[in-house]
């Protein structure tokens, strides 16, 4: 859990947020004893907060073990935010069509706390493909999504975002030197720094204020048509398909591309 840097203190609220953040990081439900140990707080500090969070539907206890886990309430609340809801509603259909057409996976991500966070994914319908998990956090300085997001920020904001992500200064300078080229093209294409054979195709999704709301990325996986014995959609065809899907998403949320 991250420590608050605010000059204002609300101990009860902080305890509640600590619990929610802890549970969000767990693959399985955890006991009150484990929660006390991980948070470094006493049972008395957590008891009342656990009861309130459960009564409000944010957490629940497993009947047999009595261990705690998150419910889907926070996910439901986040999806009530109108701009994001419109984008997610449109993305479901567009991303499914895109993957069906190209036989490639794709994902949608947004900038949050100086990282790109994946908010929607569509796996390839083919038996092989590359995919990324929902809610994954991606380095803004080392991803197609991050480059497409940064390129359309004001220059001072680009550096501020990279510094907030604790990117080393030499890397910051390297990234910033590429931004104008990406902005001029209107999208990013580049080899994945993590996975050999994968080329990221990333297109920004602009809102009505001509700001980047999200980024649509296809981690294009190079397939061998000779060994697969069927038609493989080319890289350029796939890029154009991503461009069309991005345009459709911009239109769906009433967005406008920069002049």
CATH 1.10.10.10 domain locations along the chain: 11-76
Task: Extract long-range pairs of 54-58: CB within 8 Å, 24+ residues apart.
Answer: 58/20
C-alpha–C-alpha distance, residues 118 and 130, integer Å:
14
Residue keyed to tokens 């004893």:
33
160-208 tens-digit pLDDT: 999 999 999 999 999 999 999 999 999 999 988 777 779 999 999 999 8
- pTM exceeds 0.75, yes or no: no
C-alpha–C-alpha distance, residues 160 and 8, integer Å:
24
CATH 3.30.450.40 domain locations along the chain: 79-252
38-69 tens-digit pLDDT: 999 998 889 999 999 999 999 999 988 999 99
100-to-64, 103, 232 alpha-carbon distances in Å: 43, 5, 12
C-alpha–C-alpha distance, residues 139 and 123, integer Å:
21
Q: Please answer whether residues 243 and 156 qualify as being in contact, where contact means their C-beta atoms are separated by less than 8 angstroms.
A: no
Is residue 9 predicted with pLDDT exceeding 60?
yes
Domain with residues 79-252, CATH architecture: 2-Layer Sandwich (3.30)
Two tokens, residue 21? 């953040």
Is residue 128 predicted with pLDDT exceeding 80?
no
In this structure, of 30-44, 211-225, 235-249, the range with the lowest mean pLDDT score is 211-225
**Which pLDDT value is given to residue 2?**
43
Q: Please answer whether residues 176 and 168 qualify as being in contact, where contact means their C-beta atoms are separated by less than 8 angstroms.
A: no
Cβ neighbors of 251 (< 8 A, separation 6 or more) are: none
CATH label, 11-76, candidates 1.10.10.10, 1.10.3720.10, 1.10.20.10, 2.30.29.30: 1.10.10.10
Q: Classify residue 109 as exposed, middle or buried by CB count within 10 Å of its CB (0-12, 13-18, 19+).
A: buried
Which H helix or E strand runs over 244?
helix 235-252
């Amino acid at each position: 859990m991250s420590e608050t840097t605010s000059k204002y203190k609300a101990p009860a609220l902080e305890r509640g947020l600590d619990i929610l953040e802890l549970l969000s990081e767990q693959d399985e439900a955890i006991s009150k004893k484990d929660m006390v140990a991980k948070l470094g707080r006493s049972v008395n500090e957590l008891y009342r907060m656990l009861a309130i969070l459960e009564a409000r539907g944010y957490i629940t206890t497993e009947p047999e073990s009595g261990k705690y886990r998150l419910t889907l309430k926070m996910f439901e609340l986040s999806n009530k935010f109108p701009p994001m809801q419109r984008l997610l509603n449109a993305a479901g259909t567009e991303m499914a069509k895109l993957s069906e057409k190209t036989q490639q996976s794709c994902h949608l991500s947004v900038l949050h706390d100086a990282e790109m966070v994946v908010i929607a994914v569509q796996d390839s319908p083919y038996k092989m493909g590359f995919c990324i998990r929902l809610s994954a956090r991606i380095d803004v300085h080392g991803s197609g999504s991050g480059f497409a997001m940064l390129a359309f920020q004001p220059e001072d904001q680009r550096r501020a975002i990279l510094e907030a992500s604790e990117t080393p200064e030499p890397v910051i300078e390297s990234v910033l030197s590429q931004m104008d080229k990406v902005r001029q093209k209107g999208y990013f294409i580049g080899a994945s720094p993590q996975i050999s054979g994968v080329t990221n195709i990333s297109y920004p999704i602009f809102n009505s204020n001509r700001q980047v709301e999200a980024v649509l990325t296809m981690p294009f996986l190079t397939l061998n048509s000779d060994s697969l014995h069927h038609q493989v959609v080319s890289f350029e065809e796939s890029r154009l398909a991503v461009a069309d899907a991005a345009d459709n998403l911009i239109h769906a949320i009433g967005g406008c591309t920069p002049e």
